[in-house]
């Protein structure tokens, strides 16, 4: 390895990265993410690298408990740096330096020159990027070296910092920092400072354990059991009255005990257990030998042991803290009787008890013997009845255990009967108390459940509530794939349990399902969700408003740095107030006092920002609240991103499908149509419809449904619709068309001859279809279906009939012929075609849907548009589970005055007469401009029919949107267009026809074929 003569941060892009950053250039590739985030925070608060105003505070200190834990660790760390020029700085939770240790004189002088000394503020908002302030801001260990410092004066140094947390509350109590000159810096400093911080946290936890073990020892000694645990019940056997205390019952008891420990103004609590039984909890103060104060919670289950009343106040003074029993946890568990001891109950007896040595309570000096009816328990000098200041004895009427008059309690040696002055225990000489094998009476006393400190109990209670909130959030957030609804669910879950006001802001691109651009200050966001415990104070912004946060606000800093920001005291957050002083000052006066902002980040993308405010809850936000907010928002961000991606795919599929569906109106006059297509909430499906003009003024009506949803179904639908158009251009009969379509679906399902891959889109295609052809000249309609719902026909008088079409299998199954039905429709009839999503869903049978459809369609004088609106209003559910296609066509007829027809013999002489008839008819219709071309077309087609075909020849003219000329014959041979050679005598007639007409073609009939042509009408005749 060749040693370098320059520092590592003097090489590469970091040399001028700071200057380029201040100039507004992008430096992401040259600077570490954590350092760049710190620079952005410094810039947002207006720091100037060349000028710092460092605050000084006198008498900065940490509490004695923390110093007792930290001093040994700091001493060891200082001794390990005895031969190195490194200083160790201990700062409080606000970044103010409490103490600085180690380092040579030169290093100390240089640090004094830059105000990195005890009493001075080292927070990031004051001196910029550094080991202390950045560790506080990042809430984790950091390493900063040389040019990575934001302030110019700090660039000669390298430092590593780590926060020190209270192991119980998680609050940052202090920051530990190691600083040296830049040339001596090493990233391994991070590991050293992190290990030192963990050592201090471990000692803090050990202190908490010692305090609670002292409290447990005090409780045991005060209760007369300094040497061993008192005999306690281990739950009742299931075959006895009351049943056993299961794990769920015990968990509920422990949770309630934690709440009771954390509630200084409560003494008793009645708890209904999941098993149906009732338990009573008693809160008692405990004081240890060294002055530790805590709480013991005793429990009694109705039908089980009574509460024990040990005299804590008269406990003998302790000179030491006894060791806890093996396996003891931080909080004392329920004290139990020895395993295998029988559980007994007192039973009534008709005569006085026979006292035996095994059941006679032994009294010792300092104890009180059991009492008999009519007597008051006497107290021995030096003993005190079991009452504590501020508590209610357990023998008051509200808390006296339910015992029968026929029972007599027995006392355990070393305990005091549960009596209060002036009261008499409910005892009679009617029973003999049973005992356990260890000689102690069973079922006579309460049992210790928990011992702890009120502050620790509060933390345990808050931790439990946070876990419950996280559980509820995992269940209630993300129930839909809607971006807005998911944001609303986040606000609903967190108010009022975590915040009093919650606002969710997202860019419009996320709402549209698009990838959001880089978000930062001045980025336009849309407020999509608000939740508040009260109407006042007024919402900062209403739902739907556009919000642009100024760079100094916590929201803009969260978006810029992609880090959460906590403002415990909003009145001191000038950057937040700068957003809109006129609007926000009244908000502060109304009570909002604390804020957490968390960026919505999922899969490396920032989607928006969430703001949590507190007003009614008096406690300001703390570090644990910040962690909880990050966890809640992190879960919601994944759900919102899933909803965004679904929205994008849904919009893509919907755009694809809409591009494949008809747009506008078809150019035909046979029917007046109206249609609707509505996609399903779950995703775009494969429903489609079509209105296709055919030759001879006819029209084809098509409605189909592809199995499944999504892009695959939409793409398949487009292929089938295109295929139907192609088959219609061949003028196939309805049954032949469905046969060809069935074969196509089968080939699609088989991969069209290619080896099909196993993919989500490679399943069975399958589709249904209804195909109808209407002829306005004859008013005949031919229909056939493939697994599709029956069409409805509404007569001009308003009567409704569902056509009984033959049931044919869906497309793709193959092997079965398709049958057609032909009927005559009165002019003005409405033909209604639809997909199954209109009449059938999970909550409605298809028969009920058809009955509803019949009821809606009944009625005359309703246009197709009005029919569509009425049908959808009556039948469409609020959230359709399947897409719906609806097509309504009202029939028209082509009158006799617009149709001319001549039957011609197979004689060439009739060609001239046909030309004369065509000329006369066009003159009658006022279409003289088309006379020459129409004569030529009719002459050529009639001549070909006479010369090359057989059977009767018929010439027909139709005046519709175009002038239609048709010649039919009995031959099944179709003429073919070809280019005639210069030496050919014929073959040019059909070429001339194709040049003179807009369209021409051949359609086959049961009796032969029809050659047809179309010419556009003159503009004045359309």
In 3D, which of 208, 229, 182 has the Cα closest to residue 86?
182
Categorize the per-residue pLDDT at 759 as very low, low, confident or very high, splitting at 50, 70 and 90. low
Angle (nearest 5°) at CA 969 between 966 and 971: 130
Question: Rounded to an integer, what distance in angstroms lies between the CA atom of residue 561 and that of residue 518?
Answer: 11
Residue burial 236-259, b: 16+ Cβ < 10 Å; e: rest: beeeeebbebeeebbebbbbbbbb
pLDDT value at 91 more than 90: yes
pLDDT computed for residue 344 by the predictor: 34
pLDDT computed for residue 984 by the predictor: 59
pLDDT computed for residue 295 by the predictor: 83
Phi, psi of 168 (to 5 degrees): -90, -45
pLDDT value at 642 more than 60: yes
Most confident listed range (430-444, 573-587, 844-858): 844-858
SS3 assignment, position 281: strand
Query: Tens digit of pLDDT for each residue in 791-823?
Result: 999 999 999 999 999 988 999 887 788 999 999
pLDDT computed for residue 588 by the predictor: 85
Pick the range with the lowest mean pLDDT from 159-168, 520-529, 981-990, 996-1005: 981-990
Report the run of H or E that residue 612 belongs to, with start and end: strand 605-614
More confident residue, 404 or 512: 512
pLDDT value at 438 more than 60: no
Phi, psi of 153 (to 5 degrees): -70, -15
**ω into residue 496 within 30 of 0, thus cis?**
yes
For residue 270, count other CB atoms closer than 10 A to its CB.
Answer: 12
Contacts of 939 (CB under 8 A, 6+ apart): 911, 914, 915
pLDDT value at 878 more than 90: no
Categorize the per-residue pLDDT at 882 as very low, low, confident or very high, splitting at 50, 70 and 90. confident
Categorize the per-residue pLDDT at 466 as very low, low, confident or very high, splitting at 50, 70 and 90. confident
pLDDT computed for residue 675 by the predictor: 93
Most confident listed range (98-107, 166-175, 528-537, 879-888): 98-107
Look up residue 35 and give its two tokens: 């350092």
pLDDT computed for residue 9 by the predictor: 56
Instruction: In the chain, count H helices and then E strands.
Output: 22, 30
Question: Rounded to an integer, what distance in angstroms lies between the CA atom of residue 92 and that of residue 120?
Answer: 11
Are 8 and 182 in contact, with CB atoms under 8 Å apart?
no
pLDDT value at 867 more than 60: yes
SS3 assignment, position 399: coil
Angle (nearest 5°) at CA 755 between 751 and 756: 55
Q: 33-44 and 131-138 helices cross at what angle (nearest 10)?
A: 100
Average pLDDT over residues 971-980: 75
Average pLDDT, the chain: 79
Q: What percent of the chain has pLDDT over 90?
A: 41
Query: Pairing mode, if any, of strands 671-678 and 605-614?
Result: unpaired
pLDDT value at 891 more than 50: yes
More confident residue, 125 or 683: 125
pLDDT computed for residue 683 by the predictor: 66
In the block, tokens 């006799």 appear at 896
Question: Rounded to an integer, what distance in angstroms lies between the CA atom of residue 718 and that of residue 524?
Answer: 39
pLDDT computed for residue 539 by the predictor: 56
Q: 554-561 and 33-44 helices cross at what angle (nearest 10)?
A: 160
pLDDT value at 159 more than 90: yes
Query: Tens digit of pLDDT for each residue in 925-967?
Result: 999 999 999 999 999 999 888 888 887 899 999 999 899 999 9
662: region left, alpha or beta (phi > 0 left; psi from -120 to 50 alpha): beta
Q: 454-476 and 483-494 helices cross at what angle (nearest 10)?
A: 160
Average pLDDT over residues 354-375: 38
Are 178 and 189 in contact, with CB atoms under 8 Å apart?
yes
Phi, psi of 746 (to 5 degrees): -65, -40
More confident residue, 772 or 277: 772
pLDDT computed for residue 473 by the predictor: 92
Categorize the per-residue pLDDT at 712 as very low, low, confident or very high, splitting at 50, 70 and 90. confident
Question: Rounded to an integer, what distance in angstroms lies between the CA atom of residue 605 and that of residue 397?
Answer: 63
Are 938 and 918 in contact, with CB atoms under 8 Å apart?
yes
In 3D, which of 213, 138, 167 has the Cα closest to residue 66?
167
**Radius of gyration for the chain, computed over Cα atoms and rounded to the nearest angstrom:** 45
pLDDT computed for residue 167 by the predictor: 83
Categorize the per-residue pLDDT at 980 as very low, low, confident or very high, splitting at 50, 70 and 90. low
SS3 assignment, position 100: strand
Give 441's strand partners: 435
Categorize the per-residue pLDDT at 353 as very low, low, confident or very high, splitting at 50, 70 and 90. very low
pLDDT computed for residue 4 by the predictor: 43
More confident residue, 878 or 1020: 878
Look up residue 812 and give its two tokens: 């793709």
In 3D, which of 798, 877, 833, 863 has the Cα closest to residue 676?
833
pLDDT computed for residue 407 by the predictor: 37
Query: Tens digit of pLDDT for each residue in 479-510?
Result: 998 999 999 999 999 999 999 999 999 999 99
pLDDT computed for residue 551 by the predictor: 86
pLDDT computed for residue 402 by the predictor: 37
Query: Tens digit of pLDDT for each residue in 321-346?
Result: 333 333 333 333 333 333 333 333 33
pLDDT value at 767 more than 60: yes
Q: What percent of the chain has pLDDT over 70?
A: 78
pLDDT computed for residue 132 by the predictor: 96
Are 121 and 60 in contact, with CB atoms under 8 Å apart?
no
Look up residue 847 and give its two tokens: 């028969």
Angle (nearest 5°) at CA 511 between 506 and 516: 65
Question: Rounded to an integer, what distance in angstroms lies between the CA atom of residue 50 and that of residue 526?
Answer: 38
Following DSSP, what letter does each residue of 494-557 receive, concatenated? HTTTT-SEEEEEE-HHHHTTPPP----TT-EEEEEEEEESSSPSPPSS-TT-EEE--TTSHHHH
In 3D, which of 253, 260, 255, 297 has the Cα closest to residue 279?
253
End-to-end CA distance of the chain: 92
Query: Tens digit of pLDDT for each residue in 207-219?
Result: 877 777 777 777 7
Distances (CA, A) of 730 to 442, 511, 668, 818, 953: 98, 46, 18, 18, 22
pLDDT computed for residue 346 by the predictor: 34
Query: Tens digit of pLDDT for each residue in 647-661?
Result: 888 888 778 878 888
For residue 542, count other CB atoms closer than 10 A to its CB.
Answer: 9
Query: Tens digit of pLDDT for each residue in 368-426?
Result: 343 333 333 433 334 334 333 333 333 333 333 333 333 333 333 333 333 333 333 33
More confident residue, 534 or 805: 805
SS3 assignment, position 764: coil
More confident residue, 267 or 344: 267
């Amino acid at each position: 390895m060749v040693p370098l003569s320059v520092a590592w941060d003097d090489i590469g892009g970091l040399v001028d990265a700071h200057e380029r950053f201040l100039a507004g250039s992008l430096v992401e590739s040259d600077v570490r993410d954590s350092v760049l985030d710190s620079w952005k925070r410094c810039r947002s608060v207006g720091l100037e690298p060349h000028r710092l105003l460092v605050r000084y505070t006198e008498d900065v200190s940490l509490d004695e408990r923390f110093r007792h834990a930290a001093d040994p660790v700091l001493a060891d760390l200082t001794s390990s740096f005895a031969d190195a020029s490194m200083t160790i700085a201990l700062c409080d939770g606000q970044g103010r330096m409490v103490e600085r240790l180690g380092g040579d004189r030169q290093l100390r002088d240089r640090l004094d020159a830059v105000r990195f000394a005890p009493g001075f503020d080292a927070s990031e908002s004051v001196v910029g990027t550094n080991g202390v302030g950045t560790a506080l801001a990042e809430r984790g260990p950091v390493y900063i070296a040389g040019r990575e410092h934001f302030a110019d004066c700090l660039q000669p140094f390298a430092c590593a910092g780590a926060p020190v947390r209270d192991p119980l509350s998680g609050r940052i109590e202090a920051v530990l920092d190691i600083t040296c000159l830049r040339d001596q810096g090493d990233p391994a400093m991070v590991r050293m400072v992190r290990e030192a911080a963990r050592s201090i946290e471990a000692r803090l936890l050990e202190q908490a354990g010692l305090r609670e073990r002292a409290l447990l020892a005090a409780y045991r000694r005060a209760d007369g059991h300094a040497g061993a645990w008192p005999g306690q019940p281990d739950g009742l056997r299931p075959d006895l009255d009351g049943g056993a205390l299961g794990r769920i019952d015990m968990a509920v008891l422990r949770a309630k005990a934690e709440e009771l420990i954390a509630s200084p103004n409560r003494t008793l609590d009645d708890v209904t257990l999941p098993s149906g039984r009732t338990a009573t909890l008693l809160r008692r103060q405990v004081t240890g030998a060294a002055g530790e104060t805590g709480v013991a919670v005793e429990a009694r289950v109705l039908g089980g042991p009574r509460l024990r009343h040990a005299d804590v106040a008269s406990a003998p003074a302790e000179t030491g803290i006894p060791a806890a029993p093996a396996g003891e946890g931080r909080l004392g568990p329920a004290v139990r009787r020895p395993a295998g001891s029988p559980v007994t109950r007192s039973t009534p007896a008709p005569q006085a008890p026979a006292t035996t040595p095994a059941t006679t309570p032994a009294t010792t000096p300092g104890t009180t013997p059991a009492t008999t009816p009519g007597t008051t328990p006497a107290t021995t000098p030096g003993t005190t009845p079991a009452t504590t200041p501020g508590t209610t004895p357990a023998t008051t009427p509200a808390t006296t255990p339910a015992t029968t008059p026929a029972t007599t309690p027995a006392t355990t040696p070393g305990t005091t009967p549960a009596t209060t002055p002036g009261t008499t225990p409910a005892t009679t000489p009617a029973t003999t108390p049973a005992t356990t094998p260890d000689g102690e009476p069973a079922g006579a006393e309460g049992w210790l459940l928990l011992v702890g400190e009120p502050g620790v109990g509060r933390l345990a209670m808050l931790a439990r509530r946070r876990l419950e909130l996280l559980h509820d959030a995992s269940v209630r957030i993300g129930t839909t794939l809607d971006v807005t609804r998911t944001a609303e669910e986040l606000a609903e879950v967190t108010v009022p349990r975590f915040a009093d006001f919650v606002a969710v802001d997202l860019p419009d691109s996320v709402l549209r399902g698009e990838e959001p651009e880089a978000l930062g200050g001045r980025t336009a966001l849309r407020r999509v969700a608000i939740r508040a415990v009260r109407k006042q104070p007024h919402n900062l912004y209403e739902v739907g408003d556009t919000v642009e946060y100024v760079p100094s606000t916590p929201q803009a800093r969260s978006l810029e740095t992609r880090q959460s920001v906590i403002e415990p005291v909003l009145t001191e957050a000038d950057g937040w107030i700068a957003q809109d002083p006129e609007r926000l000052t009244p908000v502060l006066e109304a009570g909002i006092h604390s804020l957490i902002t968390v960026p919505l980040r999922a899969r490396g993308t920032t989607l928006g920002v969430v703001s949590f405010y507190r007003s009614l809850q008096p406690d300001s936000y703390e570090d644990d609240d910040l962690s909880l907010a990050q966890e809640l928002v992190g879960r919601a961000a994944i759900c919102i991103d899933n909803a965004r991606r679904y929205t994008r795919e849904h919009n893509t599929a919907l755009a694809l499908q809409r591009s494949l569906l008809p747009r506008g109106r078809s150019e035909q006059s046979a029917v007046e149509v109206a249609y609707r297509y509505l996609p399903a909430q779950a995703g775009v499906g494969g429903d489609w419809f079509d209105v296709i003009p055919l030759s001879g003024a006819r029209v084809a009506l098509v409605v189909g449904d592809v199995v499944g949803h999504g892009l695959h179904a939409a793409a398949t639908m487009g292929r089938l619709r295109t295929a139907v158009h192609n088959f219609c251009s061949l003028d196939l009969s309805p049954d032949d068309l469905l046969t060809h379509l069935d074969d196509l679906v089968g080939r699609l399902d088989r991969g069209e001859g290619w080896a099909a891959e196993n993919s989500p889109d490679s399943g069975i295609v399958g589709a249904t279809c209804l195909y109808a052809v209407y002829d306005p000249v004859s008013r005949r309609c031919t229909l056939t279906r493939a697994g599709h719902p029956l069409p409805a026909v509404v007569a001009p008088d308003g009567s409704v009939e569902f056509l009984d079409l033959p049931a044919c299998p869906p497309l793709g199954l193959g092997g079965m012929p398709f049958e057609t039905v032909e009927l005559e429709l009165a002019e003005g009839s409405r033909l209604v075609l639809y997909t199954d999503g209109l009449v059938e869903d999970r909550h409605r049978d298809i028969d009920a849907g058809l009955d509803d459809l019949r009821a809606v369609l009944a009625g005359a004088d309703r246009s197709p548009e009005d029919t569509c609106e009425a049908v959808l209003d009556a039948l469409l559910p609020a959230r359709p589970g399947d897409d719906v296609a609806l097509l309504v066509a009202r029939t028209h007829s082509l009158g006799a005055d617009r149709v001319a027809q001549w039957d011609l013999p197979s004689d060439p002489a009739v060609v001239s007469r046909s030309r004369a008839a065509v000329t006369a008819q066009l003159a009658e219709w006022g279409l003289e401009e088309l006379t020459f071309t129409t004569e030529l077309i009719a002459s050529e087609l009639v001549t070909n029919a006479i010369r090359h075909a057989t059977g009767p020849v018929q010439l027909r003219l139709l005046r519709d949107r175009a002038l239609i000329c048709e010649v039919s014959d009995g031959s099944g041979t179709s003429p073919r267009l070809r280019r005639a050679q210069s030496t050919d005598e014929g073959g040019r007639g059909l070429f001339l026809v194709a040049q003179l007409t807009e369209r021409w073609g051949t359609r086959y009939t049961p009796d032969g074929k029809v050659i047809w042509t179309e010419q556009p009408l003159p503009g004045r005749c359309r």
